[in-house]
């Protein structure tokens, strides 16, 4: 498992799944997860949300030309960056909700499922747009940078955080 950090971009060696009989040049298996904990006596709720990359489910078929590998890697990195955007959106949604420790999972799970669905749609939109119009890669890179900046206050923080 690789967690998203701005100073730790993906490298080709992170992609460990077998490339035999795979339809694409590369696939990034990334997503969002959350962990919540509450103490019944103090009624405190703690949360952690993260974007994660799964090396064992991600693959990368190398080209013979290194510059093409770097283009593909940049595309795959943006998939991971999009996952980080949605991890931040989930964190924002969860801290804005009114929580009762007794029903924390029943209020958090719908928010998580909604974010996960929106993330999947955005990842598909990204691929569809860039596959049809490779010159749109820069447009997406700009959008990702703007969203990460806009959601900076919800960025990864180590450990659990009190709601």
145-156 pLDDT per residue, tens: 999 999 999 987
> Which of 91, 136, 98, 97 is closest to 115 using CA atoms?
91
> Which of 68, 67, 81 is closest to 10 using CA atoms?
81
Tens digit of pLDDT for each residue in 30-81?
999 888 877 767 677 778 899 999 999 999 988 776 667 888 999 999 999 9
Distance between CA atoms of residues 120 and 43, nearest Å: 33
**Is-contact 95 163, C-beta < 8 A?**
yes
pLDDT for 44 equals 76
The pTM of this model reads 0.90
Q: Residue 89 has which token pair? A: 């959106």
**Is-contact 50 33, C-beta < 8 A?**
yes
């Amino acid at each position: 498992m690789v967690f998203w950090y701005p100073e730790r971009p993906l490298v080709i060696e992170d992609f460990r799944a077998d490339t035999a009989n795979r339809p694409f040049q590369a696939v990034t298996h990334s997503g969002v997860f959350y962990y919540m904990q509450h103490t019944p006596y103090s009624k405190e709720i703690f949360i952690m949300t993260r974007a994660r990359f799964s090396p064992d489910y991600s693959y990368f078929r190398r080209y013979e030309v290194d510059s093409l590998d770097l283009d593909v890697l940049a595309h795959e990195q943006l998939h991971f960056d999009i996952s980080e955007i949605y991890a931040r959106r989930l964190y924002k949604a969860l801290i804005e909700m009114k929580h009762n420790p007794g029903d924390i999972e029943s209020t958090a799970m719908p928010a998580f499922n909604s974010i996960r669905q929106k993330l999947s749609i955005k990842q598909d939109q990204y691929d569809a747009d860039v596959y049809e119009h490779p010159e749109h890669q820069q447009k997406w890179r700009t959008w990702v940078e703007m969203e990460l900046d806009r959601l900076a206050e919800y960025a990864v923080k180590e450990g659990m955080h009190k709601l």
